[in-house]
Structure 1
């Protein structure tokens, strides 16, 4: 289908505008990923401190039960996704990973806590109902807010039961050096056995001690454990989301550039044809005038 000079000119302007938008989004995705990556690294030290606190508590409470109940009294699944688009199949892959994980683990229905409106829609397509939905952080400063909200939601869903008697799992996308990113589900509660394993000898120069009532202290440590793990999972999820958006924008930039080059070639050809037609009209007109 032949295009006129005016049509090709409009296409060129439109593609140039789209290219500018894509470059801006690409730059934003690259810039946004860095603070989330720093946040994921910064929480690591606090997470290690909480883990050490749990081991210190276990050391002082040797021989005493650390769990309020031997049986799981409730199940919660926390899934991290996105509120914004232009990140490819990021949410679809996460929803599929959750569906596969649930299929391999027959169990009583767990309560699903979803982070992100687009992820909620992706989960619904796989028949997974969401009990509550939270908003992902808009910046690295918002990760702490989200982690605090998740702790509050878990406490509310526990309905007065001990937190350490719940089974809580985290589903998020983490970075993988060889594969870019991988959707995974990890167990948050019950606490891993190594976290409650008291060492035979305390490594420090003095024995750990506490003054709080043991049940209150253990509950506070469990809440801190949830906060630290959710904080890190949220930061990892935001890093991979921006990485997915960056990859998509790079692909879009290449496609727009290729299309723009083609339109400019077509535009140059149409202009050349127009100039040739004008020259031919002049030559024919001049020859006709001379012949008369």
Structure 2
């Protein structure tokens, strides 16, 4: 049976836990802001790089891209999936959501699958699903830590594609939405083929003057493509981190609500037990008075 002292300890513990939850809510909200700012700032740069590639294609009068056939056409295609997850707890279904999305998406792709996981928790989920996770990267802890990670991933993905011409590289990550929500997203990173060129046609050159490439044609194109791949990966990582903190914020809001309900319930029990104790003491006093009056 619970006593006033045990209920008082539970109430104190609930209030302490609520303080921790509020602190984590504030940290998550602050992190969301910095990652969303990074994504927004990157958007302008991403558009500039894309326009530079459009300018190159326009100057060179490239209206289509024909895929070069490799001699060994019967070689099995390799599918490399770069999956951005989380290493931290208290993120709800964040890792489960992206893992299920990866499994469903890869099921429709023909070829041998290989997973590069950013985050140990999502790696374990995908391994349990039977996928080969050949590389594991640590999740960045801040905006400044994203660039070293992306440089490492980009270098290895370019090497992978150069060594396996009959391959495709995809990016999987959670993308933030309004009201602290997120949705899983997919983007094909490599190869850069006719399908990729057509995706750029949605952008229009901002002026009536024809674009011109200053300097060497090939070095300029290589630099633009490198920046395009870098910004694609950076954007995916920043959006994943923003989604992770949005999921944590939502989890902390639910936890705070549950703690508030628990505090109310414990408070009612404490006051009820305290009132019962007072009533018992009053009944004892009244009973004693009645006995003394009869004597």
Please report the TM-score for the alignment, with normalisation by the length of structure 1.
Answer: 0.86
1:23 aligns with 22
Residues 66 and 53 of structure 1, relative CA distance in 2, 3 Å threshold: farther
Q: 1:120 aligns with which of 118, 123, 137?
A: 123
Residues 290 and 149 of structure 1, relative CA distance in 2, 3 Å threshold: same
Gaps of 5+ in 1: none
Q: 1:95 aligns with which of 82, 94, 99?
A: 99
Residues 85, 173 of structure 2: 8 Å contact kept: yes
CA distance in 2, matches of 1:178, 1:102: 29
Q: 1:246 deviation in Å?
A: 1.0
Residues 196 and 93 of structure 1, relative CA distance in 2, 3 Å threshold: closer
Count of aligned positions: 285
CA distance in 1, matches of 2:268, 2:15: 14
Residues 160 and 212 of structure 1, relative CA distance in 2, 3 Å threshold: farther
Superposed, 1:1-292 pairs within 5 Å as 2-62=1-61, 69-70=68-69, 74-105=78-109, 107-158=110-161, 166-177=167-178, 180-191=181-192, 192-194=196-198, 205=209, 207-212=211-216, 214=218, 216-292=219-295
CA distance in 1, matches of 2:223, 2:79: 20
Q: What secondary structure is seen at the aligned counterpart in 2 of 1:51?
A: helix
Q: What secondary structure is seen at the aligned counterpart in 1 of 2:144?
A: helix
Residues 285 and 259 of structure 1, relative CA distance in 2, 3 Å threshold: same
Q: 1:265 deviation in Å?
A: 0.5
CA distance in 1, matches of 2:58, 2:78: 28
CA distance in 1, matches of 2:148, 2:214: 29
Residues 16 and 238 of structure 1, relative CA distance in 2, 3 Å threshold: same
Gaps of 5+ in 2: none
Residues 54, 195 of structure 1: 8 Å contact kept: no
Q: 1:94 deviation in Å?
A: 0.4
Please report the TM-score for the alignment, with normalisation by the length of structure 2.
Answer: 0.85
